[in-house]
Structure 1
Amino acid sequence: MKKLAYGISSLIPLGLLFLTFNAVAAGKTKAKVETEPATKEKLEVIKQQEELPEGELPADVPNGENLDPAALGVDGVVFDDIVLGSRKLEGLFSLYKNDVTGELYLELSPEQFNQNLLLVMTLSRGIGEAGLLSGLPLGDVLFQFRRQGDRVQFVVPNIYLRNQASDPEARSLDRSFSESVLYSLPIVATHPERKTLLVDLGELLMNRDISGLASELPYFLGGSYWPDSDKSYLQRVQAFPLNVEIESVYGFSGNGGYLTTLPDNRAFDLQVHYSISQLPAKGSYQPRAADERVGYFITAYRNVADDTNSDPFVRYIQRWNLEKQDPNAELSPPKEPIVFWIENTVPPKYRNAIREGILVWNKAFEQAGFLNAIEVRQMPDDATWQPEDIRYNTIRWSTNLYSYFAGIGPSRVDPLTGQILDADILLDANVVRLAQQEFSSLIGSGGSAQSELAAEACSIASALCDRVEGDRPQLDPSVLSDRLPFTNRHRQSCSCGECTRQLAIGSMALSLLHGAQPDGAEIEEYINQYLQFLTAHEVGHTLGLRHNFHGSTLLSPEELNDTQITRTRGSISSVMDYVFANLAPPGMPQGDYFPTLVGPYDRWAVEYGYKPSPRRLQEQEEDFLEAIAERSSDPELAYGTDEDAWSQVDPAVTRFDLSNDPLRYAQYQMENARQMWLRLESESLQPGEDFSKMREKFNLVLSYYFNQAAIVTNYVGGQSFNRARAGDPAGRLPFEPIPVEKQRQSLATLEQYVFAPNAFEFSPDLLNQLAPSRWSHWGSEIPVFRLDYPIHDIILFVQGAILESLLSGERLNRLRDLELKTDPGEALTLPELFETLHRSIWMEVLQAQNAPTPITSVRRSLQRKHLNLLISMVLGQLDVPEDARTLAWYQLRQLDGDIYEALQEQEDDLDTYTTAHLQETRDRLLKALDAEFQSN
């Protein structure tokens, strides 16, 4: 029962006031402070009340006067009575937990105010879908408790603008920028001897939505849900010398109608783990300056008092505090190693692969001077601690309905210094099922889409799924973290849904190309190598390292399948890249599927971050760190991260490419995809198998094919980008245009594998097997797209996406700029690109002048797509450079002449489809050429 707040109204009847005080004395109610201090006279009146018979009031109680229970603590009565029946938990704070009423009080001593504390929030139990997944980090925040009159405030200090406290400008800083006072709690009581204050911590955790989770639920669940206090409670409270661990269960009621994992959509529970801990003592850790040539997450602030530097920001890398036991030894164990615990939920048969994925980083730390910097321990089955406890770094096994990610590697950081304090890695349990070809219920289940084509196409070209808005948001968990209030503004989460699709494709390739069985030795090796690589990648994040999408370019395609090289030198220069399974092309022996070692970039990055400096002061480390960072000109140490990949400027900084010759490797993989289609045509399903398996496999192969074509496309108009500084030892400039021969090779590959008349040829027997699943129940709904397979639309979707990318305004602008950035004759010009596409796509028209050439339905669709793009450019409906618009006009004029000649020479010998198509095409382009230009 909620308790009456003292002094909240001058209209409280005295009888009610008397009953309330009796309840307090009995330890049954919750006292709150919201008034001025009480006088000695009032205290005497209250003392007399305890001796009166129930129902009688003293005559001299002043009606309507405010009473302050905090002051009642002078004689210790109220403080002790409030916590009567509660368990006292002593540690970082003294807590009072009443297991009957569920109340939780926090005792604060005067010296605990204005001290920096870290609050870490984790979703310790979710619902297994819609992004609400067990182990999901909800955010962390530095805060302070501050006393303001008769209240205690929860304050988030502004640490992003700093100067020295002794600087006179500090006064200006305080007046110019605000802190964030998030909550204000009444003081319940004051202890008469310790002078400590009692506040209702349960009120803060249970009723204030401190994590921001409740307010975001409608966005994620597609329905209306609200917290239900009758179903919410504090489940576990633990106090330790340096931290406090609390778990809360929040009940929600409502009606979303979309949650397939719930037994009843009207209610569900979420469990949030709160960890409050002290930050490390000042001076116990030396921050290290960040360098953009080495990929670390950073902690940054603006030095407001610094008016001497053109860049006022101070940036620290995020790293653990490692110190050598023997500072003079070249190789020494650390004083305190980084310890990872494998959670007891991880299946025993995969623990060794995960262990190896963690320990593989010790090789990198040896280059930094540390021996056995990382240790691995197994969480006992009877462990009494929780994985969310900030004292433990864990590798967790996440079980969800769908596969939203392969792994997530978040960590908690001191936002003042960048020191990493805790890490908990989530590995998706679904990856094992995906590797065993159980992908039907785990991928491609993103909900209904705007159109039938979009729904099917999303299961093929996942890279374009973001363009399609579904009726129900099946969200990446990282999106939830981005929306919550305490997301760390200096980190980007690692969450990759496409990783799981690529894993399934590799597994299926082994089945189709090698005859591997789901429970066979080859698939087992495939799973273990993947888990080792995945774990190493996520551990790298928890060591402070960002993605390095340049990391896949270490070895040639042939070297990737030579295990004598990959198991000594490594497969890639950095495990912080996203790579798909290495699949040997036809006729080449198969090597390792995934990297099993950290690469040269990883070792170098760890050296920068962790090698002890001979300089004791941070400002004296500059030369030491520069000597390490300037080696970035070594091709093996090339670095390109998320924002570099998003720009799509450098084709070597790409997700899911492989080898130092990605063009040739992508061509090998498209040949592998064609072989897989042939195997699908020749192999029959086993008796009793569902034909929907064939549709899923067909789509997965097409997805793989499409991704390889997208990699090839990146070379057209591409530029190599590096983070070199002036005076780079290799004499590099930041941008280097991709050689024109590579760009032409890219176009030739696309002509052969995407735009050629025989690029997509499938037998009728195969196409007639592509049936969808007919199950309709929770977790598996009948798709809304066509029952039969829309082969024309799907092929056009793939071809059209590549064509649109080649003729996008951004790429055309880059090509035009490259004509000025390269020597004469060394650039792929806009006219050459337009002419190459014209020759490839309208091949039949050009040939028809010599011999009648019928145009197939697939080719007619592609030609209409090309025609529509050119017309849109001419009419000003696409944002492209003016040179591109005039070239489109020129191409339409050329096409008009080509079609006219073809019809003049061969019209009587052409089939009706082709004749109608060419006549209508000519009619449309002539009208477009005569139409008015439409300005954007």
Structure 2
Amino acid sequence: GEVVDPVQPIVYYIDPATPEKWVPYLKQGVEDWQVAFETAGFSNAIIAMDAPEDPAWSPEDARYSVIRYLASDVQNASGPHVHDPRTGEILESDIQWYHNVMNLLRNWFFIQTAAANEDARGVEFSDDLMGELIRFVSAHEVGHTIGLQHNMQSSSSYSVEDLRTRFVCEMGVASSIMDYARFNYVAQPGDDTCLMPLVGPYDKFAIEWGYRMHLGQDRYSEQEVMRNFVEEWQEDPVYLFSSPMRGGADPSSLTEAIGDDAMRASDYGVENLKRIADNLIDWTYVEGDDYSALEELYNNVVRQWSRYTGHVVANVGGIVRTRKRQGQAGVQYEMVKADKQKRAIEYLNRQVFATPYWLLDSDILERFQATGAIDLVHARQSSGLDQVLNVERMKRLIEQEAFYGDQAYSLNEMLVDLRSGVWSELASGRETDVYRRNLQRSYLDRMATLLEHEDAVQTDIVSFARGELQVLREQLESATSSHRPTELHFRDAILRIGEALEPS
């Protein structure tokens, strides 16, 4: 339990080319890790210092770890390190932060927090706010240089409702700053919460595992101690690690996501995007400027909306992976519960496939483009359809039903729910607008593609897709509308289905 100063602390020097006003924040990002090293028994284990005023000192010198400032329009930062391949000891690192990462940070923080945070409402942030964002980047990249990988599972370890409380002020938006969790987009106006990532409980756990000294033990007994340390915490999701599965099959391990329920988190996120869209002209106004900032931030609103689509789709046919070794109870792969998968399709029908009129404000769009709104919505909705009607996803639904029977969300049920949402006008009798007609044509194209997809032809996918098109054709044949575009669209859809089912 004793905490001691190390003989040789980890030292990061700040590149003397760094703009002076950002130096304190870069240092804070380094020293934010001190609390993690204290759990491993070390105080003052990691520190940041100004570069020596010595003409013989060089940031290129491999003896020194340096946070390098790169005057570049690249919107990124990175944290590589050099280690001894014989022992794994980390010898040196050079964090690189590009000047224009600040633009990326502005966009992220504006889009994810401006609805609930007055400080983020503007094209230019205060130096103090931008400094705190740089501090976050510094801490994340330092984490890489001391041996930590991205932990994308940490963002799903907290409940969505906790993210609306003071819980975040102590625990961060995710249990690890090494996630791509970014900022608290769940927080609603008036919530008493915080918005920033922090060095979290997983980070402290990982540093203790990797850096605590086990004196007087040989290699084998030390391994057993470390294994037991992991097993002691294995049931707590806060301490779990995972990287994204192939194809994004695991909804608990995604990038740019927060919270344990993508549908609830994304609903909150969309409500905030609507608030931002309503105020976007005012919040990007700078007397005499052109509309480039308005255009850039509008496009970021659209991209954030699309990210939520991806987070939700991952639940359909989803599989949660929990890494285990032999001797640990339970399995590594578990199906996402059926009700959660069904709620995912309900979200898509409501927040993605329903026409997003809140994005279609002509007062915004006509300030920076002559045309393109219809194509923009079509592209984003079609992408959502393609993600849902992905062959690998549909195969997982088939297998889950084979394993779990009526406890699973079957491919048939998913397709029925999807058709009911995409073609809801057939039941309601409402007119179809141009956006919905485009969406429905994309649906027909995708279903027709499935009938001939080389990875689907020997599966149940083809028969279910064919059955859905047959049911849809029957519904269309009995539908009537006094709205001429809708009537012509329904007739055209009948012809398209016929061409798909009975190709010439």
- Kept after mapping to 2: 8 A contact 1:584/1:591: no
CA shift, 1:757, in A, is: 3.8
Residue of structure 1 equivalent to 2:379: 797
After superposition, the Cα gap between the structure-2 partners of 1:928 and 1:659, relative to the gap in structure 1 and judged at 3 Å, is closer
1:878 and 1:736 map into 2 onto residues whose CA distance is 24
CA shift, 1:504, in A, is: 0.9
Q: Could you tell me which amino acid in structure 1 is paired with residue 311 of structure 2?
A: I
CA shift, 1:752, in A, is: 0.8
Picking from 423, 426, 438, the partner of 1:842 is 423
Deviations 1:132-189 (A, max 9, x none): xxxxxxxxxxxxxxxxxxxxxxxxxxxxxxxxxxxxxxxxxxxxxxxxxxxxxxxxxx
- Kept after mapping to 1: 8 A contact 2:313/2:388: yes
Q: Could you tell me which amino acid in structure 1 is paired with residue 332 of structure 2?
A: P
After superposition, the Cα gap between the structure-2 partners of 1:922 and 1:397, relative to the gap in structure 1 and judged at 3 Å, is same
Q: Could you tell me which amino acid in structure 2 is paired with residue 369 of structure 1?
A: G
- Report the 3-state secondary structure (helix = DSSP H, G, I; strand = E; otherwise coil) of the residue aligned with 2:271: helix
CA shift, 1:719, in A, is: 1.4
CA shift, 1:562, in A, is: 3.6
1:628 and 1:344 map into 2 onto residues whose CA distance is 41
Q: Could you tell me which amino acid in structure 2 is paired with residue 530 of structure 1?
A: L
Deviations 1:552-588 (A, max 9, x none): 234333433444x334344421111112221354433
Matches within 5 A, 1:3-402: 330-402=2-74
Residue of structure 2 equivalent to 1:826: 407
2:466 and 2:279 map into 1 onto residues whose CA distance is 44
Q: Which has the higher helix share?
A: 2
Q: Could you tell me which amino acid in structure 2 is paired with residue 334 of structure 1?
A: P
Deviates more, 1:736-745 or 1:757-766: 757-766
2:230 and 2:427 map into 1 onto residues whose CA distance is 56
- Report the 3-state secondary structure (helix = DSSP H, G, I; strand = E; otherwise coil) of the residue aligned with 2:478: helix
Residue of structure 1 equivalent to 2:238: 636
After superposition, the Cα gap between the structure-2 partners of 1:410 and 1:825, relative to the gap in structure 1 and judged at 3 Å, is same
CA shift, 1:616, in A, is: 4.2
2:15 and 2:403 map into 1 onto residues whose CA distance is 54
Residue of structure 2 equivalent to 1:591: 193
2:346 and 2:316 map into 1 onto residues whose CA distance is 11
Residue of structure 2 equivalent to 1:275: none
After superposition, the Cα gap between the structure-2 partners of 1:901 and 1:700, relative to the gap in structure 1 and judged at 3 Å, is same
Deviations 1:102-158 (A, max 9, x none): xxxxxxxxxxxxxxxxxxxxxxxxxxxxxxxxxxxxxxxxxxxxxxxxxxxxxxxxx
1:733 aligns with 2:405: no
Q: Could you tell me which amino acid in structure 2 is paired with residue 756 of structure 1?
A: A
Residue of structure 1 equivalent to 2:304: 704
Question: Which runs of no fewer than 5 residues in structure 2 stay unpaired?
Answer: none
After superposition, the Cα gap between the structure-2 partners of 1:930 and 1:627, relative to the gap in structure 1 and judged at 3 Å, is same
After superposition, the Cα gap between the structure-2 partners of 1:880 and 1:339, relative to the gap in structure 1 and judged at 3 Å, is farther
- Kept after mapping to 2: 8 A contact 1:560/1:566: yes
After superposition, the Cα gap between the structure-2 partners of 1:684 and 1:539, relative to the gap in structure 1 and judged at 3 Å, is closer
Picking from 290, 304, 316, the partner of 1:716 is 316
1:561 and 1:876 map into 2 onto residues whose CA distance is 44
Q: Could you tell me which amino acid in structure 2 is paired with residue 505 of structure 1?
A: W
- Kept after mapping to 1: 8 A contact 2:251/2:319: yes
Picking from 761, 770, 782, the partner of 2:368 is 770
- Kept after mapping to 2: 8 A contact 1:716/1:743: yes
Residue of structure 2 equivalent to 1:77: none
Q: Could you tell me which amino acid in structure 2 is paired with residue 526 of structure 1?
A: L
Residue of structure 2 equivalent to 1:919: 491
CA shift, 1:537, in A, is: 1.2
CA shift, 1:709, in A, is: 1.4
1:815 aligns with 2:397: yes
Residue of structure 2 equivalent to 1:661: 261
- Kept after mapping to 2: 8 A contact 1:365/1:371: yes
CA shift, 1:733, in A, is: 1.3
Picking from 529, 532, 541, the partner of 2:144 is 541
Q: Could you tell me which amino acid in structure 2 is paired with residue 717 of structure 1?
A: G
After superposition, the Cα gap between the structure-2 partners of 1:893 and 1:569, relative to the gap in structure 1 and judged at 3 Å, is closer
1:925 and 1:818 map into 2 onto residues whose CA distance is 29
After superposition, the Cα gap between the structure-2 partners of 1:877 and 1:916, relative to the gap in structure 1 and judged at 3 Å, is farther
After superposition, the Cα gap between the structure-2 partners of 1:422 and 1:673, relative to the gap in structure 1 and judged at 3 Å, is same
Residue of structure 1 equivalent to 2:354: 756
Of all paired residues, the percent bearing the same amino acid is: 28
Q: Could you tell me which amino acid in structure 1 is paired with residue 79 of structure 2?
A: G
Picking from 115, 135, 139, the partner of 1:532 is 135
After superposition, the Cα gap between the structure-2 partners of 1:686 and 1:873, relative to the gap in structure 1 and judged at 3 Å, is same
Residue of structure 2 equivalent to 1:177: none
Residue of structure 2 equivalent to 1:678: 278
1:684 and 1:659 map into 2 onto residues whose CA distance is 29
1:799 and 1:717 map into 2 onto residues whose CA distance is 19
Q: TM-score, normalised by structure 2?
A: 0.92
Question: Which runs of no fewer than 5 residues in structure 1 stay unpaired?
Answer: 1-328, 435-499, 772-787
2:453 and 2:173 map into 1 onto residues whose CA distance is 48
1:526 and 1:552 map into 2 onto residues whose CA distance is 23
Residue of structure 2 equivalent to 1:867: 444
Q: Could you tell me which amino acid in structure 2 is paired with residue 867 of structure 1?
A: L
Residue of structure 1 equivalent to 2:180: 578
Structure of higher CA gyration radius: 1
1:910 aligns with 2:483: yes
1:718 and 1:708 map into 2 onto residues whose CA distance is 16
After superposition, the Cα gap between the structure-2 partners of 1:332 and 1:694, relative to the gap in structure 1 and judged at 3 Å, is closer
1:884 aligns with 2:464: no
Q: Could you tell me which amino acid in structure 2 is paired with residue 595 of structure 1?
A: P
- Report the 3-state secondary structure (helix = DSSP H, G, I; strand = E; otherwise coil) of the residue aligned with 2:378: helix
CA RMSD of the aligned region, Å?
2.5
1:581 and 1:864 map into 2 onto residues whose CA distance is 36
- Kept after mapping to 1: 8 A contact 2:12/2:47: yes
Q: Which has the higher strand share?
A: 1
